[in-house]
Structure 1
Amino acid sequence: MGLEHFGRVLVIAPHPDDEILGCGGTMARLTGAGHEVHVAIVTLGREPAFPAEGVARVQDEARRAHALIGVHATHRLDLPAAALDTVAAAELNGALINLVNDVNPDTLLIPFLGDVHQDHQLTFLASMVAARPRSPKAPARILAYETLSETNWYAAPTTPAFVPNVFIDIQSTLERKLEAFSLFETQVKAFPDERSLLTIEALARLRGSAVFLRAAEAFMAIRMIER
């Protein structure tokens, strides 16, 4: 079965590269099949914590990675990176509500609530507010993706554990995912760091073999509306 039911897709990423780590292979499959895939980057690094030159470089890396994947549009909310806890909930929620209303996605791919980074947790919560089923236009499906170096570094089972129940075959797009992440030259690390290309491939192989596929990305189904 294909992914036709995904329709228009919005991937919400707290920071540039989360979307490639979490669901780059799925995004590539979707764009290859003609789906309109949007990416929202919630935060932007600000001085003095994030030098402007480095921020500009990461933005350029993201542009090139998204072009390779075939992203329809990248939306930047430019809220403060590593400081979403300083943003009023109404402001964060409002930014994502406006975005979801503008894009009108059928499917949302969002970070996992149990990620160690607070930006990820707050992005999840705001995404759920933005996706409240208050009209027929509400996203029909919401899936949470896993992000290496974030999803398994908290304190499960004391904190929410990522227990995948959706697996998407990315055998045909794994190499493109790896190539896209390699464009984030500032973020790629040497193995055994979790942000190494070897680890990204190993996770895809592990998730795939769990369901007798050669490579997969894993998700948790948060809400599915069958219309």
Structure 2
Amino acid sequence: MRADAFLAAADRLPVASLDDLAGPGGLVVVAPHPDDESLGCGGLIAAARAAGRRVHLIVVSDGCGSHTQSRLYPPEALRALREAETLRAAAILGLRPEDITFLRLPDAHVPSAGPSAEAAAESVAQAASRCGAGAVFVTWRHDPHCDHRAAALIVALARPRMPGVRVYEYPVWGWTLPPETEVGPEPAGLRLDVSAQRGTKARAVAAHESQTTNLIADDPQGFRLEPAMIDRLCGPYERFVAVPA
């Protein structure tokens, strides 16, 4: 199926309750970079926490690839900044610092196989066990970013260690794919109505100031989220593509 048709179909997935989506247990959200959790799953996280569910966030990469030419924020300082932003965003969504694991794998070089990937998969499985997860959420395997694809493969490695746990993928950058890209069969899955959480989600996204403002002003080539991209991801629904067992 072409990417444009797939994503249009994802926009038409049935709307379900949190119980229908995730079952009765906790949730694990796997974000390739600091900010993906807010962009792709901010409404889900906020809704789950408001319902009293346990949520554990795993941030896979160190985020140091967004501003590689900055002298004010060399890698160590940039990593610290992006983790601090994630803590602020997560607090807005209802998470505590102890609900977050930073794996600190290299941005733009997250492995999808080998010892580091296996260790990351074990972290996902352990988090699922600790919070009694009914579902794990990770970026879409066809997102046009190597770390997003690697995160999906890490969760695939973890899945045999999480029997009975549902797995969903959430598109973040999928809408930037060339429309004719082949991405496999028509999506199955569900949408979650997050209209009640839109304000909270928008504040969480805005907490990632290094990605949404000119906070880091000394790297003209540095990454910045476009307002249209934020608007696209902060609508009334979040989309979750089911991954068959």
Structures share a fold, TM > 0.5?
A: yes
Matched, 1:17 2:35: yes
Structure 1: unaligned runs, 5 residues or longer? 206-214
Structure 2 residue aligned with 1:30: 48
Contact 1:178 1:201 in 2 (8 A): no
Provide the rounded CA distance (Å) in 2 between the counterparts of 1:94 and 1:185.
Answer: 30
Structure 2 residue aligned with 1:64: 88
Structure 1 counterpart of 2:140, from 98, 106, 112: 112
Matched, 1:94 2:135: no
Contact 2:118 2:154 in 1 (8 A): yes
Q: By how many angstroms is 1:58 displaced?
A: 1.1
Q: By how many angstroms is 1:188 displaced?
A: 1.1
Provide the rounded CA distance (Å) in 2 between the counterparts of 1:197 and 1:70.
Answer: 24
Contact 2:201 2:234 in 1 (8 A): no
Counterpart code for 1:120: H
Equivalent positions of 1:74-223 (< 5 A) are 74-85=100-111, 89-104=114-129, 105-132=133-160, 137-147=162-172, 150-160=173-183, 163=187, 165-188=189-212, 195-197=225-227, 199-205=229-235, 215-223=236-244
Structure 2: unaligned runs, 5 residues or longer? 1-15, 69-73, 215-222
Structure 1 residue aligned with 2:18: 3
Q: Number of residues paired by the alignment?
A: 207
Higher relative contact order, chain-length normalized (CA < 8 Å, sep 6+): 2
Structure 2 residue aligned with 1:54: 78
Contact 2:18 2:192 in 1 (8 A): no
Q: By how many angstroms is 1:164 displaced?
A: 6.6
Q: Secondary structure at the match of 1:108?
A: strand
1:197/1:179 Cα in 2 relative to 1: closer, same or farther (>3 Å)? farther
Q: By how many angstroms is 1:80 displaced?
A: 1.0
Provide the rounded CA distance (Å) in 2 between the counterparts of 1:130 and 1:92.
Answer: 10
Contact 1:21 1:181 in 2 (8 A): yes
Q: Deviation per CA, 1:108-151, whole angstroms, max 9, x where unpaired?
A: 0011000111111111011011012x6xx52521111111xx22
Provide the rounded CA distance (Å) in 2 between the counterparts of 1:189 and 1:164.
Answer: 36
Counterpart code for 1:188: T
Q: Which has the higher helix share?
A: 2
1:146/1:31 Cα in 2 relative to 1: closer, same or farther (>3 Å)? same
Provide the rounded CA distance (Å) in 2 between the counterparts of 1:201 and 1:46.
Answer: 25
Q: Deviation per CA, 1:37-91, whole angstroms, max 9, x where unpaired?
A: 1100111145994532222111111000011101250011111111124x75232
Q: Deviation per CA, 1:142-200, whole angstroms, max 9, x where unpaired?
A: 111111xx22223454342795741100011011000000011111159xx99345543
* Identity between Structure 1 and Structure 2 (%): 27
1:203/1:184 Cα in 2 relative to 1: closer, same or farther (>3 Å)? closer
Contact 1:96 1:126 in 2 (8 A): yes
